[in-house]
Amino acid sequence: MFSGSIVALVTPFNKKFEIDLDAYGRLIDRQIEQGTHGLVPCGCTGEAATLSHDEQKKCIRFTVERAAGRVPVIAGTGSNNTHEAIGLTRYAKEVGADAALLITPYYNKPMPAGQIAHFSAVANAADIPNVLYNVPGRTGTNMLPQTVAELAKIDNIVAIKEAAGSIDQVSQIISLCDITVLSGDDSLTLPMMAVGAKGVISVAANVAPAKTAKMCVSFLQGDVDGARKLHYELLGLFKGLFIETNPMPVKAALAHMGLIENILRMPLTPMLPEKFAQLEPILKKLGV
C-alpha cells in the first residue's frame, strides 16, 4: 500500500467555488489508468484548509467509491485540533479508506511531547493505518527523527510523508526505526529512495502520472539508470510546480491541459500570467 507514486490530488472547483465532482472523478480515473499506485484526497494540494468538514468527508467518500478498490486511498484527515483529527480519521475508516494522512499540528506548534500525545491519541482512537506528515514549511515545526521513532512503536502508525527537505533527516529516521518513508518533495524522491524511502506522495503526479509512477517502479525494481533518467526528465516539472504556492501552479497546469477549471479558494488565487509563462514551456517539453 505504501510504495510507488501516490498522488496528492487537487480538489477541482467550479465557477461557484463548489467541488466539481465530475472533474474529480475524471482525475481519479486518469490517475489509475496511468499507473498511479495510490490516491490522497484532502491533503495540502487538495486545499483541505479551505474545505469544510462536510466537504472533506464528501471528497474522501467520493474518492473511495470512485477508486472502488483499484488502488489504495490514503485520506487526508489531519488537523491542529486533536479532537477534529480523531473525528475525520474515524470517518475515513467508516467509509472504507485504506489509511489516513495526518499532518503535524500547525499554528499551535506542539513540542515533541505534544506531537507524541496528538498522534498517539488519533492512532488509539481510530483503527486504521496512520501515515504521519512532516512538512515544516507549512506547519512551522519539524517532527524530529527521535519523535518519529517513538511514534513508530504504535502498531497502526506505519509510514511517514517526509517533506522537511533533508536527506539526512530521512537517513536518521530509517536508522532509528522501520517505519515506511515516503517523499513529500518530488525533486527529492529519487535521492530519498536511494537511502531507503519507498516512494512519494506526489504533486507532480497530477500532471505526469505515468512518468512519476515509472520512475518509482524503475528504482524499486533495480533499474537505477532508468529511474535517474526519468528523474531528470521530470526535474523541470518538479521545480516548476513550486514557482508559486502549491497548488496554484499544478491547478494552472491541469487547466492548461483541459482537465479542470483554474479555480482556487481564497486566500489562494490563480497563478500570475508572468509566472505561468515560466511553467508553460516545461509542460510543452513534457508533451502535456
Measuring CA to CA, which residue among 164, 245, 234 is closest to residue 206? Answer: 234
CA–CA distance, 56 with 103 (Å, rounded to integer)? 15
* Terminal Cα-to-Cα distance of the chain (whole angstroms): 28
CA distances, 114 to each of 41, 82, 104, 182 (Å): 26, 10, 10, 23
Annotated active-site residue in 57, 93, 161, 214: 161
- Active-site annotation holds for 107: no
CA–CA distance, 22 with 13 (Å, rounded to integer)? 10
Annotated active-site residue in 24, 91, 133, 251: 133
CA–CA distance, 181 with 145 (Å, rounded to integer)? 11
Strand partners, 161: 133, 182
Measuring CA to CA, which residue among 105, 107, 174 is closest to residue 143? Answer: 105
- Asked whether the beta carbons of 216 and 194 are under 8 A apart, the reply is no
Question: Residues near 7 by Cβ (< 8 Å), separated by ≥ 6?
Answer: 31, 36, 38, 39, 40, 201, 202, 205, 206, 209, 212
CA–CA distance, 115 with 62 (Å, rounded to integer)? 30
CA distances, 100 to each of 2, 140, 202 (Å): 12, 21, 16
Catalytic residues: 133, 161
